[in-house]
Amino acid sequence: MTGADAIAEILRRENTDFVACYPRNGVIEACARIGIRPILCRQERVGVGMAEGYSRVHQGARIGVFAPQAGPGIENSFPGVAQAFSDGMPILVLTGAAATGREHISPVFSAVDNFRHITKWATKISDAAQIPDVFRRAYHLMRNGRPGPVLIEIPNDVWAQDIEDDFVYVPRARMLSAPDPGSIAEAVATLRAAEAPIIWAGQGILRAGATDELVELAEWLNLPVMTTNPGKSGFPETHPLSLGGSVVSAPKPLKDYLNAADWVFAVGSSLSTSPFNPNMPVGKSVIHATNHSDDINKDAASEIGIVGDAKLVLAAMIAEVKKSVPEKPVMRQDVHAAKEAWLDEWAEQRNSDEVPLNQYRVLGDLMDHVDRDNTIITHDSGSPREQLFPFWEATRPGGYMGWGKSTQLGHGLGINMGAKLAAPDKLCINVMGDAAIGMVGMDIETAARNDIPILTIVLNNGVMAAERDTLLTSTEKYGAYLVGGNYKELANALGLEAFRAETADAFIPALKRAIAVTRAGKPALLECMVKEGYDFSR
């Protein structure tokens, strides 16, 4: 068995369905020989996104893999890995490298040196005999503690190096840590005595599969629940206690309840400060439950810290509540009423018939005409994120893939393809703007070539709308923020069936036709001609 064959066999034992790649890497042919599908992308960071989307759907049970070539391939992969690192997503990057002994000869690029600060672990294999031990460690790190990318650099000569016949590799299960009972009792007593407590839920809820426990605890304590950007869909947003999620924009009640809270119970969240995630207001008392102790007392001071898996933490808190509370209280209705009042304030925009289209009308009609229980949707960066995120009500865990502690234009396309590969029976939608498709649009051909039946919705207003307040003089004098294109025609040229909606009445029929294309096993694109921009919900 060669080094490449050993790596492919490890991926098979880890239940890897496909390897996103481009274009030369020793593992590609080895994977193909044993039935692991290689999918060549057009751009490396889209391939990284495909691996990430796959990992998101499987929540670490299966982990996406990206395999670029040495040199320019791994160099071009940097932004995708940086995005995955910022959002705490486990992916495995297997890169080629210069032959052993040449790694320090200029201008040879060292992936380990350059990716060390944007990966959970970066290492190099110098001998094929090291492969089982290195991969065991890599998968352990990706499945346990705070998630993140792992990079393994494999020199060109190691791919072909022989390994002894007694090759041994056994996948290892994820390990869970239970919380301290004393801290659980203190947290429950504190929340019961608080005047206006609130639950702050992060992506750890999704990773732990803890949605049922979160709903149960919220109902026993009658507490409103908000989510972070990557935690969106961890709590059903049709629930009467849901405040929704927050990016820069957010449902108005979320900010009102958070600002009024005396205690915040944060669970499954790092509470990391970010321009594109909710930040803890000054003066709040915090109970912080996370599986990574280093996050406690990092950006937010915590009066009570709990280290443990989110599912186990919540289950322990439910058991503690039941010791002294005989039955669930009558569910409060003020949270739902506040949300309805906020939606009424946006009714004019969400029902607008104006031309060009109002983005809020488009996204509202989209939500009302898909089966959200069987849909996975993601946003792209900028205006699409801020317009979609507050208003879309996620109904099932993982039905919305939120991202954006870093906000690279175009990232949503790759993770949408990865999600579809992981969940072929779901309708997978990516909502992007004209600036985002300008970054990665050629990779819609990757979906067409590989029969990945995603739906891409492009909001085309011909400008970088999120920058309209920052590029005033440069736009007036030089048209700096103007962008453009006919993305329906682009998609047709790249092998997709595409549609265009220019009026509100045209959107729903076009949407239904596009969904029908995806159900037939092909990707589709729907271009919506929209207005320049609108205010966001604050």
Domains and CATH numbers, the chain: 3-159 (3.40.50.970), 181-332 (3.40.50.1220), 346-529 (3.40.50.970)
Task: Identify the residue whose tokens are 């949300």.
Answer: 339
What pLDDT is recorded for position 406? 85
Q: Which amino acid is at 368?
A: D
How many Å apart are CA 426 and CA 296, to the nearest integer? 36
How many Å apart are CA 149 and CA 112, to the nearest integer? 12
How many Å apart are CA 423 and CA 401, to the nearest integer? 13
Instruction: List, in order, residues 6 or more apart from 356 with CB less than 8 Å away.
Output: 461, 502, 529, 530, 531
* Alpha-carbon Rg for the chain in angstroms: 24
pLDDT by residue for the chain (538 residues), tens digit each? 999 999 999 999 999 999 999 999 999 999 999 999 999 999 999 999 999 999 999 998 999 999 999 999 999 999 999 999 999 999 999 999 887 776 666 678 899 999 999 999 999 999 999 999 999 999 999 999 999 999 999 998 999 999 877 789 999 999 999 999 999 999 999 999 999 999 999 999 999 999 999 999 999 999 999 999 999 999 999 999 999 999 999 999 999 999 999 999 999 999 999 888 888 999 999 999 999 999 999 999 999 999 999 999 999 999 999 999 999 999 999 999 999 999 999 999 999 999 999 999 999 999 999 999 999 999 999 999 999 999 999 999 999 999 988 889 999 999 999 999 999 999 999 999 999 999 999 999 999 999 999 999 999 998 887 777 788 899 889 988 888 899 999 999 999 999 999 999 999 999 999 999 999 999 999 999 999 877 889 7
What pLDDT is recorded for position 104? 66
DSSP 45: H
From the CB of residue 255, how many other CB atoms can be counted at a distance below 10 Å?
18
What pLDDT is recorded for position 103? 64
What number of residues does the chain have? 538
Pairing of strands 198-201, 225-227: parallel
**In 3D, which of 401, 489, 496 has the Cα closest to residue 446?**
496
Q: Which two tokens stand for residue 444?
A: 């819609």
Task: Identify the residue whose tokens are 């608080």.
Answer: 194
Q: Residue 42, exposed/middle/buried by CB under 10 A (0-12, 13-18, 19+)?
A: middle
Report the predicted TM-score, pTM, of the whole model to 2 decimal places.
Answer: 0.96
What pLDDT is recorded for position 107? 75
- Classify each residue of 178-217 as buried b or exposed e, where b means 16 or more C-beta atoms within 10 Å of its C-beta: ebeeebbebbbebbeebeebbbbbbbbbbbbbbbebbbbb
